[in-house]
């Protein structure tokens, strides 16, 4: 007698963490109900009874896991609550179960989100304190393969400016963000000309789509642009940064994707891992979009997945918007195909292989204004990723306008001995001068994460 219980084509691991004890405010869009309705839907559909779908408890990320990615001002403990560490640890758990062969794919349904958290963190911006998916990748590189080639495909409606920043100079990471045009939505960035640092040109690709983009428009981007690029890049690991605020019912955005669209998008991308990011239509979208991603990753049928108000017309794209999408695809394709000839317009050449840029970063949640100067070394030694010097001043824009100045030295895990020595000497120089409140060393080669504090 055959069992009626379905069997997943792909063994899928689910890691669930709603963070009951953390919220920006009780009625903030980024709150625990984002996941509670989804979990109820998963149970109601009986998916935890499906053979091949497993639920795992998230582990706790360590302070070292965070310091491997972030310069936390003043320190990790101040910025990362236990909920943040469990969210990052949930992503690590997903990666661990996948890399150890326990599952074929894994989906971390965790919060708080992380893709707006930059390398340097003065506070919360875009609902994010620490970058859970970057912490996951650097844990994998530290524990399994330092040369891991990774693709992030971020499908959140908001530009993934934090993950972009962390990997802007890493030629082994291809970061692709598909989002609502930054001229119409926070954080106001993610334009096609943001292509990566001078040593990693076109390893950052931004696809800013017009408001009103539907399933048809998104899937055109996947088929005509993303899949051919993935075939050429040949990553070891594909990660879907699974933001779901592109849904037509989301209160914070202006896009038109459906749960069917999310499922089909995920089916075509075929990621190894997915990490939840945004999505704020708590009852009308998230239970359906998360379910669609889950079904697609497990290799189960999602053809009957529909929101209560679904109509096939929602998936169709109007011709004017589709023409705009096609133009954007052609522009990004040009950058990718000509990546070896591109010269960065963002960075000024200052000699001896060093490049520099200055920028201002606003923390919308914690109301902090940061002025940052970033100096990057592009080394001619094969397989050396150079080093990075960062000077940053964060001004807390409250009554007292507290200002905190920091300097940071970043030594990536793939670096020649000369670049490593120069960077170490720069750290010592910053400490001796005593010009900054804090000086940080982030040395991924030796797993050395230091902080000097001015007395």
Q: Is 384 within a domain?
A: yes
178 inside domain: yes
Range of the domain at 421: 351-453
Q: Supply 200's token pair.
A: 């990693």
> Are 258 and 365 contained in the same domain?
no
In the listed set 332, 364, 399, which residue is the last one of a domain according to the structure? 332
Say whether both 428 and 372 belong to one domain.
yes
Q: Is 344 part of any domain?
A: no
Q: Is residue 44 part of a domain?
A: yes
| Separation of alpha carbons 135 and 92, rounded Å | 8
Same domain, 162 and 309: yes
Into how many domains does the chain fold?
2
Considering the domain architecture, whether residues 138 and 215 belong to the same structural domain is answered as yes
Residue 247 in contact with residue 255, Cβ under 8 Å? yes
In this structure, the answer to whether residues 301 and 423 fall within a common structural domain is: no
Helices and strands per DSSP (H, E), number in the chain: 12, 17
pLDDT tens, residue order, the chain (455 aa)? 345 678 999 999 999 987 545 455 556 454 456 667 788 888 888 899 999 999 999 999 999 999 999 999 999 999 999 999 999 999 999 999 999 999 999 999 997 889 999 999 999 998 899 999 999 999 999 999 999 999 999 999 999 999 999 999 999 999 999 999 999 999 999 999 999 999 999 999 999 999 999 999 999 999 999 999 999 999 999 999 999 999 999 989 999 999 999 999 999 999 999 999 887 777 788 889 999 999 999 999 999 999 999 999 999 999 999 999 999 999 999 999 999 999 888 999 999 999 999 999 999 989 999 999 999 999 999 999 999 999 999 999 976 789 999 999 999 999 999 999 999 999 999 999 999 999 999 999 999 999 999 98
Is residue 2 situated within a structural domain? no
107 falls within a domain: yes
Q: Which residues are marked as active site?
A: 116
Instruction: List all residues 6 or more positions away from 27 whose beta carbon is below 8 Å from its beta carbon.
Output: none
**CATH (domain of 254):** 3.40.800.20
Claim to verify: residue 374 and residue 229 sit in the same structural domain: no
In a domain, 338, yes or no: no
Residues 301 and 361 in one domain: no
Q: Which residue matches tokens 């170490």?
A: 424
Looking at 332, 361, 387, the residue that finishes a domain is 332
Strands (E) in 97-234, as ranges, are 105-110, 120-121, 150-154, 173-180, 204-209
Query: Rounded to an integer, what distance in angstroms lies between the CA atom of residue 452 and that of residue 423?
Result: 15
CA distance 262 to 293: 6
Q: Are 437 and 405 in contact (CB under 8 A)?
A: yes
From the list 8, 11, 28, the residue with the least C-alpha distance to 280 is 28
Q: Are residues 307 and 233 in the same domain?
A: yes
**52 and 20 in one domain?**
yes
Same domain, yes or no: 96 and 66? yes
Q: Which of 302, 332, 362 is the last residue of a domain?
A: 332
Same domain, 124 and 84: yes
Q: Is 396 found in the same domain as 316? A: no
Q: Taking the model in full, what pTM does it have?
A: 0.95
Calpha distance 241→276 (Å, rounded): 6
Is 341 a member of any domain? Answer: no
Q: Which element (helix H / strand E) includes 63?
A: helix 63-67
């Amino acid at each position: 007698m055959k069992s009626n219980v379905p069997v997943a084509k792909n063994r899928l691991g689910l890691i669930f963490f709603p963070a009951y004890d953390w919220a920006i405010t009780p009625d903030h869009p980024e709150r625990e109900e984002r996941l509670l309705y989804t979990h109820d839907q998963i149970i109601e559909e009986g998916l935890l009874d499906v053979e091949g779908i497993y639920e795992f408890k998230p582990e706790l990320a360590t302070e070292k896991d965070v310091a491997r990615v972030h310069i936390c001002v003043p320190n990790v403990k101040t910025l990362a609550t236990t909920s943040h560490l469990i969210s990052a640890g949930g992503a690590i758990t997903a990666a661990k179960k996948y890399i150890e062969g326990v599952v074929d794919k894994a989906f971390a349904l965790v919060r708080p989100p992380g893709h707006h958290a930059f390398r340097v963190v003065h506070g919360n911006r875009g609902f994010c304190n620490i970058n859970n998916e970057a912490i996951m990748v650097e844990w994998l590189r530290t524990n399994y393969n330092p040369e891991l080639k990774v693709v992030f495909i971020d499908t959140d409606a908001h530009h993934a400016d934090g993950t972009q920043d962390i990997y802007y100079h890493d030629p082994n990471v291809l970061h692709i963000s598909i989002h609502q045009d930054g001229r119409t939505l926070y954080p106001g960035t993610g334009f096609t000309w943001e292509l990566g640092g001078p040593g990693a040109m076109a390893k950052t690709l931004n696809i800013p789509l017009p408001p009103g983009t539907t399933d048809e428009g998104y899937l055109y981007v996947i088929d005509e642009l993303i899949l051919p690029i993935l075939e050429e890049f040949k990553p070891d690991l594909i990660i879907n940064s699974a933001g779901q605020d592109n849904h037509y019912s989301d209160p914070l955005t202006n896009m038109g994707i459906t749960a069917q669209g999310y499922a089909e998008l995920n089916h075509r991308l075929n990621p190894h891992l997915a990490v939840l990011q945004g999505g704020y239509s708590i009852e009308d979208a998230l239970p359906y979009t998360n379910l669609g991603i889950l079904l697609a990753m497990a290799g189960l049928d999602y053809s009957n997945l529909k929101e209560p108000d679904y109509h096939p017309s929602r998936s169709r794209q109007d011709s004017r918007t589709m023409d705009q999408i096609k133009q954007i695809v052609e522009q990004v394709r040009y950058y990718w195909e000509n990546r070896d000839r591109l010269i960065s317009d963002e960075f000024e050449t200052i000699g001896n292989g060093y490049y520099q840029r200055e920028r201002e970063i606003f923390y919308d949640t914690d109301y902090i204004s940061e002025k940052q100067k970033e100096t990057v070394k592009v080394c001619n030694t094969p397989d050396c990723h150079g080093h990075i010097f960062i000077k940053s001043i964060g001004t807390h824009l409250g009554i007292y306008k507290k200002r905190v100045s920091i300097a940071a030295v970043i030594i990536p895990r793939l670096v020649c001995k000369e670049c490593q020595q120069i960077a170490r000497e720069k750290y010592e120089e910053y400490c001796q001068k005593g010009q900054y409140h804090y000086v940080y060393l982030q040395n991924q080669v030796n797993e050395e994460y230091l902080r000097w504090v001015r007395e």
